Chain A
Amino acid sequence: NAGVTQTPKFRVLKTGQSMTLLCAQDMNHEYMYWYRQDPGMGLRLIHYSVGEGTTAKGEVPDGYNVSRLKKQNFLLGLESAAPSQTSVYFCASSFRWALRLRANVLTFGAGSRLTVL
């Protein structure tokens, strides 16, 4: 099982450029998430999705957009990158919350390191 796969693993952007991070999971998880990790800040939720065509904002959604057109994929877009978006981005997925035995046990991807100059 590949689990959660993120592409690309590394990317350098110039301020104002756009890009999309792709997350793919093969575990048939209903829920998917995008977090960012910054030094001393822990993991902060950007956006999440509870199913195809459904997305919701997290703690730090500004400057990002997401789409979940297929159950297995969750895309994170930066329309106009800013240096403040330099970070490591983690995608995660989980079974739907109603399945209590596995409630909210997240499986994470390996991370994508983004640098905005």
Chain B
Amino acid sequence: AQKVTQAQTEISVVEKEDVTLDCVYETRDTTYYLFWYKQPPSGELVFLIRRNSFDEQNEISGRYSWNFQKSTSSFNFTITASQVVDSAVYFCALSEGLRSGNTPLVFGKGTRLSVIA
């Protein structure tokens, strides 16, 4: 069965610090997708990134970067030079790939990030 663990419940950093949010996943499938979503204080859920299991290249988007390591079953998210607007709950999620499609997303419990000015 698929499982996502976000061990960090809450993180607090001072503005301009770098911060890494950890995500560890479990799956028996060789084909799967990993996701990160952001939930700001307003409550909506915003898609950040999707990565498939065949692509282990790290990805960078502005101040955001993602490190995917199949050897450790991790898909960590780093925010460089954090800003107050980065304060949110961040969710990691996993979808397994099956022959006829993919399973619905299973989410981790989330990490609440507070960036202090």
* B44 with A111: CB separation less than 8 A: yes
* Bound: A35/B9 CA distance, A: 20
- Residues of chain B contacted by A107 (CB below 8 angstroms): 47
- Residues of chain A contacted by B45 (CB below 8 angstroms): 43, 90, 92, 106, 108
| Minimal beta-carbon separation of B92 from chain A (angstroms) | 9
Residue A69, interface by CB 8 Å = no
* A43 with B50: CB separation less than 8 A: no
* B109 with A41: CB separation less than 8 A: yes
The contact string, 1 if C-beta is below 8 Å from chain B, for chain A 25-55, is 0000000010100001111110010100000
**Closest Cβ neighbor of A113 among chain B residues:** B43
Give the total of A residues in contact with B, Cβ under 8 Å.
Answer: 27
- Residues of chain A contacted by B44 (CB below 8 angstroms): 108, 110-111
Residue B87, interface by CB 8 Å = no
- Residues of chain B contacted by A42 (CB below 8 angstroms): 6, 91, 107-110
A 59-117 contacts with B by CB, 8 A: 59, 88, 90, 92, 96-98, 100, 103-108, 110-111
Residue A8, interface by CB 8 Å = no
* A96 with B101: CB separation less than 8 A: yes
**Among B50, B93, B95, B109, contact of A40 (Cβ-Cβ < 8 Å):** B109
* A103 with B47: CB separation less than 8 A: no
Can you list 13 A-B contacts with CB-CB less than 8 angstroms, sorted by A residue number? A42-B6, A42-B107, A42-B108, A43-B45, A43-B107, A48-B104, A88-B43, A97-B102, A103-B95, A104-B35, A108-B44, A110-B43, A111-B44
